[in-house]
Structure 1
Amino acid sequence: MNLQRGDLLRVVVVGGGIGGAELVRNAATKEGLELVLVEPKERIECQALYPDYLGGKVEIEDMTAPLDPFCRKMNVAHAKDRATRIDLDDKRITCEKNDLDYDLLVLAPGAVQNYFGVEGAERAFSINTLEDTVKARRFVEKSRPKRIAIIGSGPTGIETACFLAENTSSAIFVVEMMDRLLPTLSRNASILMEKVLGGKGVEVLTNKQVRSIREGGVTFVDGESLDCEMTIWTAGIRPAPLIESLDLPKRSGWLLCDQYLRVQGREDVFAIGDCAWIEIGGKLATKTGMEAEIQAKHTARNLARVAKGTDLKPYSIRASTESPVALITTGCGCAVGIYGDLCVPIPKRIIYTFKSWIDKSFVRRFK
C-alpha cells in the first residue's frame, strides 16, 4: 500500500466501528488532515442491530455498509489490515500486512467479549460480532432449541431475550449474577423490564453466578444447574488485545483519557468509544454507541484545531453512568426509553420507531 505523506497532518484511525467510522466521516471534511482508516473488516457494522438480526427482524444489508466505497467517497485511505503493535516513540503502527506512520493517532478498536475465566465459555454463542451473531441465528433456525439461556441482563441480553421470545417457541431464561436485571441502570428500569420479560414468558434468574458452561447446560457457583440446548453470552466486555498491549495510562484496563479525549500524557494519541475511560468533572462516560458517536464528532473538530494550531476544546459527557441513557427494544414493535431514574412514559411504539430510525440511519449515512 502506497500512502505518501505530504504537508498535511497524517491521522491514522485504528478501528472502523461506530466511533472510528463516524470520526472519519466528520474529519474528512476538515482542512489540513490526511486520513487513514485501519480496519480489517470490509463493512461498517451497527452492533445495536445484532439482536434484531438474531430475531430475524433485519438482514445483513440493513445493518452494514461497505467500507471501501465510503472511504473513496470521503478521500480516505482504507488500510484493510489489523493493527498488532504500536511504537509510540517512533509513531509507527505495525499491522499484519503493512506498517504505517502517523502524526496523530486515534484509537477506536472497540472491545471484545469478556468471559471472566468461566470454564467452557467458548461453547456459548455470542452476539458481540456480526460473525458470531450470524452463527447464532443459523443455529436457532436450524436446530430450533427448546431451551435457551442468555447470560447477562444488560440492554443486549434483554433485547436478545425479547426478540427470541417473540420469534421462537423456545423457553427463554435470562441469567444475571447481580440481584436485579439491568444492574447498571436504575431500579425503576429493572422493575419495568422484569414485568416486560414476565409478560413474554421469559424466566429471570438473578443472583446466579455461572461456574461453567457445558454441552447441554449451565452450572452455577451455588451448585445448581440449568439444562438448555443453547447458551448465549452477553455478560461483559474487555479491552481489545491491541489496547492491552499498550504501555499507556489505564483505568480498569481502559485507556485513561483527559478532558480533550487524548490519552493522558500524550498529545498525539486520542481514544474514543469502548476502549476509553473518560471521566470528566466527576462524571464517567458510558460505553454506548450514542456516546461514541458524540465523542467521534468532537474529536474530529479537535483534530482540525490541531492542524490549525489552535487550542483544543474540552469534551462534555452526554450519557454518564450516573444518568445513563438507553433505548431498549422489547419486541412486538415496542421499546422503552430510560434516562437516569426515569423510564420515559411515551407510547412504546413511538420509542421503537425512534430507536429503529437512529440505528438504521447510522448505516445509511455511510452508503
Structure 2
Amino acid sequence: MSRSRIVIVGAGFAGYQAARRLSRKFRGAAEIVLVNPNDYFLYLPMLPEVSAGVLEPRRVSVSLAGTLRGVRLVLGEVDGVDLASRKITYVDPEGNGGELRYDRLVLTVGSVNKLLPIPGVAEYAHGFRGMPEALYLRDHITRQIAMATSEEDPAESDARCTFVVVGAGYTGTEVAAHGKLFTDSLAKQHRKAGNGLRGDSLPRWMLLDIAPRVLPELDERLSKTAHRVLTKRGVEVRTGMSVKEATNEGVLLDDGEFVRTRSLIWCVGVRPDPLVEEMGLPTEKGRLCVDKYLQVPGYPEVFSCGDAAAVPDLTRPGEYTPMTGQHAVRQGKTVADNVAASYGYGQRRPYKHNDLGFTVDLGGVQAAANPLGVPLSGPLANAVTRAYHLAALPGNRVRVAADWLLDALLPRQAAQLGLVRSWSVPLESSSPELAHSPRRYQGPEGRRTDSRNAGGNSAQG
C-alpha cells in the first residue's frame, strides 16, 4: 500500500480515540493528520470541577503531541470541506488559511452550545462547552462574591450572589452542584476575613429546566438522588420552568418572577457543529447522516462519528445514538477499525453498543451513578464516578488524583486571574473551544474566525 493520508477533523472523544487507534494500526504505513484548534484533548466531564476550583485547567487538558505518537497535529479550525477535490480548508490560530488533501476523511467536529430564541440570552448568558468558558466562570464567580461582600446596596449584593443555571441535564446539574459548594467556600473565607456577606447569608443558586425533573434523560432513581442532594445543599431546583427574557439586571422567568442576577449560565444542551450543515449533505437534526459502518452514503472515503454524526442505534432500531461521551469513545474506535479495513487491514464492523450506565458528580463526596444498571448514591457512587473518570482519562491521572486530595484537605483558592473576559466567550459561537478576540474577520469560506492567536486572550490550561 502506498502511503496515504488520513485526515481527522476534531480531537474530542471520538477524534482522539480514532487517531490513537489508527496510529497503532498503521504504525507509519499511512500519514495520520489530526486537525484541531487546540493542542490538547479536553476531558469535558470534569470541566465543572475546573470552574469550581477543584481541578487546575491542565489536569483535564491532555497533550495531543505527548499522547498520540505517529500523529501529525495541525492547529486550525476547519471552515470548509471540498468533497469533490478531497480536501479541507482551515484557519490557523494566527488567522492564516491553509488546506489539506485527504485519501480518507474522518469528521468528528463535535458540538456547540444549543441556542433558543429567547430575548437577551445570546447577549447576557454564557455557555459551558470549552476551557475558556470554564475559566471565565471560575473568575466570574470569584469576582461576584468578592464584590458582593463590599457592596453597600443590599439589592445589588444579593444580585451578585445569585447564580441562575438553565438546563438540568448532566452539565447543568454538575455546574450547580459544584458551584454551590464553591461559592459557600468563598463566602466563608470572606467572612473569616471580616468582610462577610450581608447578614452572613449564603449565595443563592437556581437550577431551571422545562423538564419535569432534573436529569430527565436518566433513570428516575438517579434523578431523585440528584434532586435530594441539590435541595439539601441549598440549590433551588425549579422544574417545568425556564427563562422568558434576560437583561443586564437579571432574568424574567416563565411564571412572571424577575430574578436579579449577574450570572446566567446556559447549559440547555448542544447542537452539532455548524460545519456539518455547511457541507450540503443529508442531515438528521443537524447531524451528518452515516450508515452503520460510520460512512457517509455516496462518499465511501468519508467517515463521521461522535456528536456531529447521526449514527443508527442498532440496539434500538429506528433511533440514533445519543450525543454522549460514552458513545463517542466507542464510535471513535470503531471508525478507526473501519478506516483501516478500507485499506485491507481487518474487516469492517457495524457500530453497536449498549449503555453501561452513567455517572453524575455532585461535588464533595456526593454523586449518582448506575454502573451496569445498579443505582448508587452518596460516597460509594462518588468513588465509582471518580474511578471511572480516572480510567477514561488518557493522561494526567496522578495529577487529577493529587488535586482531589488537596481539595479534601485545603480550602479552595479564591484568587481570580482575570484573563478571560466576558466578550471572549460569547454564547453564540461555532468555536467554544477558543477564546475570541474583539477583532474578527471573515475566513476563506465566510466563516467568522479570530484574527489573532486566541491564546493571547485566555488562560487555556
Q: Specify if TM > 0.5.
A: yes
The letter for the 1-side match of 2:143 is K
* Counterpart selection for 2:334 from 279, 286, 298: 298
Name the counterpart of 1:271: 304
Q: Which amino acid aligns with 2:4?
A: L
Write the distance in 1 (CA, Å) between the matches of 2:345 and 2:128. Answer: 43
The aligned residue for residue 129 of structure 1 is 130
Whole-angstrom distance in 1 between the partners of 2:245 and 2:47: 25
Q: In structure 1, what is the equivalent of residue 139 of structure 2?
A: 138
1:51 aligned onto 2:84:
no
| Equivalent AA in structure 1 for residue 384 of structure 2 | I
Is 2:159 the partner of 1:158? no
Is structure 2 residue 35 aligned with structure 1 residue 66?
no
The residue aligned with 1:111 is 111
Deviations, residues 122-162 of structure 1 (Å, cap 9, x unaligned): 31122211011111111111221411110000011111111
Query: Kindly tell me: are residues 216 and 358 of structure 1, through their superposed partners in 2, closer, same or farther at Cα, counting changes over 3 Å?
Result: farther
Q: Secondary structure at the match of 1:333?
A: coil
Task: Give the superposition deviation at 1:339.
Answer: 5.9
- Report how far residue 357 of structure 1 moved: 1.6
Q: Secondary structure at 2:18's aligned position in 1?
A: helix
The offset of 1:342, in angstroms, is: 5.2
Shift of 1:348: 2.5
Runs of 4 or more above 6 Å deviation: none
Partner of 2:164: 149
**Which residue of the other structure, out of 22, 29, 34, is the alignment partner of 2:31?**
34
AA aligned to 2:115 is Y
- 2:120 is aligned to 120
Quote how far apart the aligned CAs of 1:340 are: 8.7
Q: Deviations over 1:288-319 (max 9, x none)?
A: 21221111111111111111176411111233
1:190 aligns with one of 214, 220, 223 = 223
In structure 2, the residue corresponding to 1:180 is in which secondary structure? Answer: coil
C-alpha contact (below 8 Å) 1:249/1:263 kept by paired residues = no
Decide which of 10, 15, 18 is 2:13's aligned counterpart.
18
Asked if 2 retains the 8 angstrom alpha-carbon contact of 1:216 and 1:230, the reply is: no
Deviations 1:90-134 (A, max 9, x none): 111111221111111101111010121222223112221101111
AA at the equivalent of 1:231? L
CA-based RMSD of the aligned residues comes to 2.2
Among 322, 328, 332, the residue aligned to 2:364: 332
What percentage of aligned pairs have identical amino acids?
Answer: 26
String of CA shifts for 1:167-205, please: whole Å, max 9, x gaps. Answer: 213211000012211122232222222111111111111
Give 1:303-318 correspondences, 5 Å limit: 303-308=339-344, 311-318=347-354
Larger displacement relative to structure 2 (335-344 or 305-314) = 335-344
**Residue ranges of structure 1 left out of the alignment (5+ in a row):** 1-5
CA shift in 2, pair 1:349/1:207, >3 Å: closer
The verdict on how the C-alpha distance between 1:335 and 1:358 changes in structure 2, with shifts beyond 3 A counting, is farther
SS of residue paired to 1:268: strand
Q: Helix, strand or coil for the counterpart of 2:277?
A: helix
Kept in 1: contact 2:6–2:33 (CA 8 A): yes
Q: Larger deviation: 36-45 or 324-333?
A: 324-333
Q: CA deviation at 1:343?
A: 2.3
What SS does structure 1 have at the residue aligned with 2:295?
A: coil
Aligned 1:223-234 pairs, distance under 5 A:
223-234=256-267
Partners of 1:340 and 1:206 in 2: how far apart? 28
CA distance in 1, matches of 2:58, 2:348: 38
Structure 2 CA distance for aligned equivalents of residues 318 and 52 of structure 1: 28
State the alpha-carbon separation in 2 of the partners of residues 233 and 147 from structure 1: 15
Q: Which residue in 2 is equivalent to 1:98?
A: 98
2:11–2:41 contact (8 Å) kept in structure 1: yes
Q: Does the 8 A contact of 2:113 with 2:128 survive in 1? A: no
SS for the counterpart of 2:358 is: strand
What is the CA–CA distance in structure 1 between the aligned matches of 2:247 and 2:394, rounded to whole Å? 38
Larger Rg over CA atoms:
2
Residue 212 to residue 325, structure 1, CA distance change in 2 (3 Å):
farther
Cα distance in structure 1, aligned partners of 2:389 and 2:215? 21
Q: 1:223 to 1:265 in 2, by over 3 A?
A: farther
| Contact kept? 2:87, 2:101, Cα under 8 Å | yes
Judged with a 3 Å threshold, the aligned counterparts in structure 2 of structure 1 residues 154 and 141 are, in CA distance, closer, same or farther, namely: same
The alpha carbon displacement at 1:253 in A equals 0.9
Distance 2:107 2:299 in 1: 12
Unaligned runs of 5+ in 2: 92-96, 146-159, 185-202, 400-461
* Letter aligned with residue 390 of structure 2: W
Q: Measured at CA, do residues 211 and 15 of structure 1 come closer, stay the same or move farther in structure 2, by a change above 3 Å?
A: same
* Alpha carbons of structure 1 residues 292 and 229: separation in structure 2 relative to 1, 3 Å: same
